[in-house]
Homo-oligomer: A and B are copies of this chain.
Amino acid sequence: METVKAILFDTFGTVVDWRGSVAGEIERLAREKGIDDIDGDAFARAWRAGYQPGMEEVRSGRRPWTSIDVVHRERLDAIVGDFGLAGLSDGERDDLNRAWHRLDPWPDSLPGLRRLHQRFILGPLSNGSTQLLINIAKRVGLPWDVIGSSDAFRSFKPQAEMYLGAVSMLDMEPGEVMMAAAHNDDLKHAQSHGMRTAFICRPYEYGVDQVKDLEATGDWDFVVDGIDELADRLLSSGGSSFSAGK
């Protein structure tokens, strides 16, 4: 691992708990509207269920480039009625859509990232938009050095443009960049392009719906239970701090 200079993190599910964060926002909003019995967790999962199909319309070429913020908003409009929230105004929907810009990190994320930041260049490599990724980071202090977003490369993972674009953006060799993700499929694609890999197990990402990514299914460089553990593993070799001269 001596050659790894940068670590790029999948964000939704790997760094932040989208399900718990979105569920919390939904339940708060519903209470304001006098609705007491909404299942915020089910709402979050129903919202997320539109994520891959929405991106697939773009990846397939059936739809021109579309930001994930638009994909999120369209799915929101499609499901609000099922949860008794069809009366939300346009402005209320806009604000709720930005729940995806206000996701909270898993408890180990911030401590682990802060330690890794001393030695590695860090950034997200996410299907989120640049603004979404900035907003998530800035709200809680994620120590990113650079933002790897879907709209920077006008593609969505697992399209090759995302991985190759990020490596090129950093002006590094693929083996100098590690992809860290809670999703085996993401790592499989990163590895196919020559990147290093770290699987961060997040068995509660989807809650009761979670049927995959409960364990590593590939030959990854690291398999850990959190970002703090990744820091333990990567920093235990006692290497020096980040140096701009290298």
Contact = CB atoms under 8 A, between A and B. Distances in A.
A245 B98 contact: yes
Interface in A17-51: none
Contact of A171 (B67, B138, B170, B172): B67
Which of A69, A151, A170, A171 has most chain B Cβ within 10 Å?
A171
A130 B146 contact: yes
B121 A138 contact: yes
Contacts of A137: 145
A22 to B, nearest CB: 14
Nearest to A139: B244
A219 to B, nearest CB: 29
A137 to B, nearest CB: 7
A146 B147 contact: yes
A210 interface: no
B245 A95 contact: yes
Nearest to A102: B244
A66 interface: no
A238 to B, nearest CB: 20
Interface in A127-148: 129-131, 134-139, 144-147
Interface in A198-246: 242, 244-245
A152 interface: yes
A196 interface: no
A208 B145 CA distance: 35
Contact of A244 (B101, B169, B244, B245): B101
A212 to B, nearest CB: 30
B134 A146 contact: yes
A242 B135 CA distance: 9
Contacts of A130: 146, 169-171
Interface in A73-102: 95, 98, 101-102
30 contacts: A69-B171, A95-B245, A98-B245, A101-B245, A102-B244, A102-B245, A121-B138, A129-B171, A130-B146, A130-B169, A130-B170, A130-B171, A131-B170, A131-B171, A134-B145, A134-B146, A135-B244, A136-B244, A137-B145, A138-B145, A138-B242, A138-B244, A139-B244, A145-B147, A146-B147, A147-B147, A151-B169, A151-B171, A152-B152, A152-B169
Interface of A: 67, 69, 95, 98, 101-102, 121, 129-131, 134-139, 144-147, 151-152, 169-172, 242, 244-245
